[in-house]
Amino acid sequence: MAKKILAILLALSLVFAFAACGGKGDDVTTTAPIETTEDPFAAGDETDAPATEATVADETAAATEAASDAAEETTAADTSDVSVEETTEAANAMPEGKAAIVEYYNTAINNAKKNSKSIHSNYMKHAVAGEITGIPSALDSIGQSLIKDNMGEDDSKKNVTWTSAADKNAYFPVEGETYASKLTAADVKDAKIVEKDGKWIIRITTVADPRSEGYSHSNGHAPKAFNAVLPGIIDGYIPGIVKSMFSVGTVATGYPSSTVQVTVDPATGNVTHANYMLYWTLYIPLSGTDVVLPFSTENDYNINW
């Protein structure tokens, strides 16, 4: 959980609330949050073209037909000619199409959380990921500065190693869960895989999650695989007396398309490196308008076996 950001938001909620009590000055025009649709990693030629639903269907049909043909040929041929090496190569074949890549990713990343020797957190970085809107005009400069001055690296997640199951479950995505991903093909905008230097690089980009007050680890797309800052957690940081006295409404969040990229050793199926880039937008209803705060949180890990 991004405790650093939550502390900032708590301070902001108090500042905004007292501003609302004293009057907001000029009217503030609330604009829609910026939806980040660009790929944050500028993939270049390191990834394949995204698989569409039609492509997945075609590939599935082709694979079924090929499997049928192969079965007939194997029946007709002398099975003693099939080597152990060929069987191993078939088992380690690179997955193709969105559904197969997501399934492979889930297996690999869940195994990393459960069975790796240790997980090393290289860093966590926070940034403002768009235009901040809705801050009362009299406090706009103060609010903007308070947020932006506290972005950057979070020391609590820099060069930290987790070895116990309890720590890995507590801190590695998804925080507080025994799993690292429950993504389905329907949760994924695109999935890509490429071989580089003898390793497989997998990139998963989630479908954007619109504004909602009800996201949880089982509800939404990004929350199923990221350390998503959930609306209920943030809402709990705002004192009830502040909500009631200054008309602070229920907090909501949204998650523009976010990306996780992992490096896998195809010989073992073990993930050796993972980078998560989560985009999230916070909505704080305040006296009839919304304070809209778009953020990004990047986490980077090495997985040791």
Could you count the other beta carbons within 10 Å of the beta carbon of residue 142? 14
User: Which pLDDT does position 13 carry in this prediction?
Assistant: 57
157, 163, 166, 171 alpha-carbon torsion, rounded to 10°? 20
Which pLDDT score is estimated for 96?
Answer: 94
Residue 77 lies in a domain: no
| 18-27 contacts, C-beta under 8 A, 24 or more apart | 18/246, 19/136, 19/138, 19/139, 20/136, 20/246, 20/247, 20/286, 20/287, 21/245, 21/246, 23/138, 24/136, 24/137, 24/138, 24/287, 25/136, 25/137, 25/138, 26/137, 27/137
Residue 124, CA atoms < 13 Å, CB-side half-sphere = 21
Instruction: Say if 66 falls within a structural domain.
Output: no
Query: For the chain, where are the alpha helices, taking DSSP H only?
Result: 3-22, 53-76, 84-91, 98-115, 140-148, 165-171, 231-237, 240-246
Tokens of 295: 């953020």
Rounded Cα gap, residues 150 and 154, in angstroms: 9
pLDDT at 246: 57
Stated pTM of the model: 0.73
d(CA 258, CA 37): 9
In a domain, 133, yes or no: yes
Distance of CA 192 to the CA centre of its chain: 15
Q: What are phi and psi of 3, to 5 degrees?
A: -65, -35
**What are 262's two structure tokens?**
């992992």
Q: Is residue 73 part of a domain?
A: no
* Cα–Cα dist 18/14, whole Å: 6
Pairing of strands 118-128, 289-304: antiparallel
pLDDT at 159: 87
Interatomic CA distance for residues 235 and 6, integer angstroms: 10
Residue pLDDT tens, the chain, 305 long: 556 666 666 556 555 555 555 443 333 333 333 344 444 335 454 444 334 344 444 444 444 454 445 444 444 444 445 455 544 454 579 999 999 999 999 999 999 999 999 999 999 998 888 887 876 665 556 566 667 666 777 777 888 999 999 999 999 999 999 999 999 999 999 999 999 999 999 999 999 999 999 898 989 999 999 999 887 777 665 656 555 555 567 788 999 999 999 999 999 999 999 999 999 998 887 767 788 888 899 999 999 99
Q: How many residues does the chain have?
A: 305
pLDDT score, position 127: 86
Structural domain span for residue 288 = 3-51+97-304
Pick from 271, 199, 256, 181: which is nearest to 46 by CA? 199
For residue 59, tell me if it sits in a domain: no
- Give the model's pLDDT for residue 156: 73
Residue 94 contacts residue 266 (beta carbons within 8 Å)? yes
CA quadruple 236, 246, 127, 190: dihedral positive or negative? positive
Specify the pLDDT at position 11: 59
Give which of 125, 64, 68 is closest to 96, Cα–Cα. Answer: 64
Q: Based on the structure, what is the number of domains in the chain?
A: 1
**278 found inside a domain:** yes
